[in-house]
């Protein structure tokens, strides 16, 4: 993650974070993998953090990498 400045409706400077976060399941249990995917999908719809109504807190679910 890295910090980046952004303007709050053109009036106030706000500092936010931009980056990528990876969650890894310790086991390949289908239940817990589905919970992680559910949380990632919910974060995309709900947003994360403060001021989500103004476009901050955007999330993108990139997907997963399969272990071979």
Q: Is residue 59 part of a domain?
A: no
Tell the residue number behind the tokens 């239940």, with chain if given: 31
pLDDT of residue 31: 92
Q: Which long-range contacts (CB under 8 A, 24 or more apart) does 1-10 make?
A: 6/56, 8/51, 8/54, 9/54
* Mean pLDDT, all residues of the chain: 81
Q: Is residue 62 part of a domain?
A: no
Among 53, 42, 49, smallest CA distance to 18 is for 49
Domain span at residue 6 reads 2-54
Q: Is residue 26 part of a domain?
A: yes
Instruction: Give 17-39 pLDDT, tens digit per residue.
Output: 888 888 788 888 999 889 888 98
pLDDT of residue 55: 73
DSSP helix/strand/coil, 30: helix
Q: Is residue 61 part of a domain?
A: no
Cα–Cα distance for residue pair 32/38, rounded to 1 Å: 10
Domain count, the chain: 1
């Amino acid at each position: 993650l890295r910090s980046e400045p952004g303007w709050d409706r053109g009036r106030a400077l706000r500092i936010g974070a931009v980056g990528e976060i990876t969650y890894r399941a310790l086991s390949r249990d289908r239940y817990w993998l589905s919970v992680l995917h559910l949380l990632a999908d919910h974060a995309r719809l709900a947003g994360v953090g403060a001021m989500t109504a103004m476009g901050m807190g955007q999330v993108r679910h990139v997907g997963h990498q399969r272990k071979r």
